Structure formats: C-alpha cells, structure tokens
Amino acid sequence: LSFAIQLSPGRSIDAAVARELPLLGGGKMPMSGVGLCCRASAKGDAVRQGVLDFLLLGGRHLDSAQLYDNHREVGLGLRQAIEQGVPREEIFIWPAEFGFEDASAWVPRMLGELGVDYVDLVLLHTPKVDKQ
C-alpha cells in the first residue's frame, strides 16, 4: 500500500515510508494508529488488553472519543504500557468530542478517566450547528 499525503503545494510524503507526519506546531503525529470504537472488543478488558498490546508492539497513536465510553479501560492499558517502559511522550492520544460547547467540561473529565496529564490533539467529530 502506497499513497502520498499532500503537505503543501509541491511537497508530499510517501506514506509507505513515513512513520510520522510533521505538525505545524513542531510536533509529530504517527501516521498509523488504532481506533478504539464500534465493536465488542472496544469495551472492558478487551480494549485494555488491546491498547496494551498495541503499544508494546510499537504502535503509538490512539484514536478515541467520548462517544465510545471506554476511556477508563483505555487509560488502564495506556498506564500499564507506560509502566512496562513505553515512553508517554512517544504516544499520540487523539480524543474527539461532538460539541465545542461541551469540550471545556469534557476535557478535564476525559484526562481523569485516561489517567494522563495531557492529550496531543482534541478533535470535534462534528460540531453542533444551529440551523436557525
């Protein structure tokens, strides 16, 4: 599998050889990750073990969201991986929220559920739009 990601006019990265995408703020985002939703294995001990295994095998990008209702289990697997030697600063945590208005209350709660001091990127899944 090979495809190019457009960074800016005239520049691209071959995703088959790139492991990280440089971000404008100076950070880097792993090009591949694991989505933590939408199946039976995204709940309970299965998701905890999946996160732990993914990180111990070298994965570094976790895609989560409030909707998935599994941040406690994800956080447990994440903390276990860190305890086993995976550096937190190598892990890119990307949670998503549905509404901008809810984010200020949700982010502190999500950090507590994950058991981390920070996440690397917070996304809006789909912003709520008032049609009036």
> What value does the mean pLDDT of the chain take?
82
Residue 118 annotated to the active site: no
Contact criterion met (CB below 8 Å) for 57 and 34: no
The dihedral over CA atoms of 46, 49, 50, 53, expressed in degrees to the nearest 10, equals: -160
Share of the chain above pLDDT 90, in %: 47
Buried/exposed code over 16-29 (b: 16+ C-beta within 10 A; e: otherwise): eeeeeeeeeeeeee
Q: Where do the domains of the chain lie, and which CATH numbers do they carry?
A: 19-124 (3.20.20.100)
Tokens of 36: 């933590």
Catalytic residue, candidates 68, 71, 73, 92: 68
Mean pLDDT confidence for 84-101:
89
Reply yes or no on whether the pLDDT at 7 is more than 60. Answer: no
- Which residues 6+ apart lie within 8 Å of 70 measured at CB? 36, 37, 42, 43, 47, 64
